[in-house]
Amino acid sequence: MGFCFSHTLMEKLFFLKLYMNRRMLSMLLLGFSSGLPLALTSGTLQAWYTVSGVDIVTIGFLATLGQPYVYKFIWAPLMDRYVPPLLGRRRGWMLAMQCCLVITIAAMAFFNPALSPWILAAIGLAAAFFSASQDTAIDAYSTDLLKPEERGVGAAMKVGGYRVAMIISGGVALLMAVAIGWRWTYLIMAMLMSVGILATLFGPEPRYEAKPPSSLGKAIVDPFKEFISRDGAIIILLLVILYKLGDAFALSMTTVFLIRGVDFSLVDVGTIIKIVGVGATILGVFLGGTIMSRIGLYRSLLFFGLLQAVSNLTLMWLAIVGKSYFLMVSSIFIEYLCGGMGTAAFVALLMGLCNHRYTATQYALLSALSAIGRVFMGPVAGVMVEHIGWVYFYFWSFIIALPGLLLLWCLRSQVTVAGQNNTNLAV
């Protein structure tokens, strides 16, 4: 009896220590800083253009402002090679990008889309560039800072902060614009970037400070050479592409399915996805991070990957049954909960695969590869729905998730090493 009580107490103290420390607080605040600019240069900016009466063609071009997030690996070697004069290689770049974001987001407040649509878009593109660069620096910092047993929880804290920031810069910003106008909304959003600046200024130094590459050429070439030289490198890259593919495939058509496939209203879909979906994702990443700290990286990836695959079948069930609010809410909750758990473990995997000397470049490349499914599955999904219908589409989204799990099982030794690796091969 006494042993059980002592064991339970030790477990509670372990999880309290895991979540309540300076590194985890930094992850939460930096996740917020990372997520805040995204909507301000995408959905919220599109809404501002729309209510200002800008033509639809110009609004359509705003989608191209997101390009820096896709190509950030191109300039990531600069962040590995050069060390800013303040706060070191990781925090120095974070601070520089955050200051640039404050300036550009504030500058957006002083232009009117109806009068200067292209100038505002150009400033928005600059903000997106600084945001993508901030993400690169934060990802590198997180990888260098967290211990192996903290990566799942750290990923959860970062994703949780990211999602909260997206709610604020998305839905809350739209309500603010109605109440106080667009100028003050964007100025307040610029001020909120101070959250990230404070986290950077007072954040702990990374535990491993590898020597930067000796030249820019080495910073560009060596990350690729180092990674490709590892055993099974190509198969590991294939795993990065495939692990979340089934999840991305199903989610690429979720909004269309709920509106056209089972006849829910736009208000129903917006409310459920924004409230239930976001809430389930945040719960999922925290639950996933906690479980991962107990069972390790490989078993977490396998377990959460199976849940991700099976959760797609709940949408297939909704397609079979038809319009049902209970089943719709349940399906969205399960889908986003399992996706969030998978995300926590997957981010930890990317961290474990990076060499500290080239963290910025390697993480940017790995995250770009992981986005392939999200970027390119939409057109394929649309064609499949057109030819086989919603029920079989979601069944195939389940099937598409299985090769990634099979590959994970084949790479179990390498993934286990990545989860236990304390130095990430730093030299």
* pLDDT higher than 70, residue 67: yes
Within a domain: 1: no
- pLDDT tens-digit profile of 306-315? 999 999 999 9
* pLDDT higher than 80, residue 106: yes
Q: Please give the pLDDT value at position 162.
A: 87
Provide CB contacts within 8 A for 396, sequence distance 6+.
249, 384, 388
Q: In terms of domains, do 279 and 149 share one? A: no
Q: In terms of domains, do 183 and 240 share one? A: no
Q: Please give the pLDDT value at position 16.
A: 56
Within a domain: 13: no
Q: Please give the pLDDT value at position 210.
A: 67
CATH code where residue 267 lies: 1.20.1250.20
Domain count, the chain: 2
- Taking residues 413-421, what's their average pLDDT? 72
Q: In terms of domains, do 39 and 164 share one? A: yes
- Taking residues 404-409, what's their average pLDDT? 90
Name the residue range of residue 183's domain: 19-209
* pLDDT higher than 60, residue 37: yes
Q: In terms of domains, do 378 and 239 share one? A: yes
Would the CA dihedral through 293, 295, 300, 306 be positive or negative? negative
What mean pLDDT is reported for the chain?
A: 82
Q: What is the number of H-type helices and E-type strands within the chain? A: 23, 0
Q: Please give the pLDDT value at position 50.
A: 79
Q: In terms of domains, do 345 and 202 share one? A: no
- Taking residues 122-133, what's their average pLDDT? 93
Within a domain: 371: yes
- Taking residues 90-115, what's their average pLDDT? 92
| Residue with more model confidence, 304 or 223 | 304
Burial class (CB in 10 A: 0-12, 13-18, 19+), 167: middle
- pLDDT tens-digit profile of 230-241? 877 888 888 888
Q: Please give the pLDDT value at position 421.
A: 61
Q: Please give the pLDDT value at position 183.
A: 92
* pLDDT higher than 60, residue 144: yes
Would the CA dihedral through 311, 313, 317, 319 be positive or negative? positive
Cβ(328)–Cβ(262) below 8 Å? yes
The half-sphere exposure of 227 on its side-chain side, counting CA atoms within 13 A, is 23
- Across 77-81, 193-197, 417-421, which has the greatest mean pLDDT? 193-197
Q: In terms of domains, do 172 and 291 share one? A: no
Boundary residue ending a domain (209, 224, 245):
209
Nearest to 199 by CA among 360, 22, 363: 22
* pLDDT higher than 50, residue 380: yes
Q: In terms of domains, do 264 and 365 share one? A: yes
* pLDDT higher than 60, residue 6: no
**Cβ count near 415 (within 10 Å):** 25
- Taking residues 267-292, what's their average pLDDT? 81
Both tokens of 2, joined, read 């006494």
- pLDDT tens-digit profile of 160-185? 888 889 888 877 888 888 888 889 99
| Residue with more model confidence, 146 or 12 | 146
* pLDDT higher than 80, residue 381: no
Q: In terms of domains, do 162 and 267 share one? A: no
Q: Please give the pLDDT value at position 425.
A: 40
* pLDDT higher than 80, residue 259: no
Boundary residue ending a domain (161, 188, 209):
209
Provide CB contacts within 8 A for 20, sequence distance 6+.
none
Q: Please give the pLDDT value at position 423.
A: 45
181: left (phi over 0), alpha (psi -120 to 50) or beta: left
- pLDDT tens-digit profile of 321-361? 888 889 988 998 999 899 889 988 888 888 888 887 788 88
Within a domain: 2: no
For tokens 């609004």, name the residue: 59
Q: In terms of domains, do 52 and 136 share one? A: yes
* pLDDT higher than 90, residue 72: no
Angle formed by the axes of helices 151-167 and 278-295, nearest 10°: 170
Q: Of 9-13, 35-39, 69-73, where does mean pLDDT reach its minimum?
A: 9-13
Q: Please give the pLDDT value at position 18.
A: 58
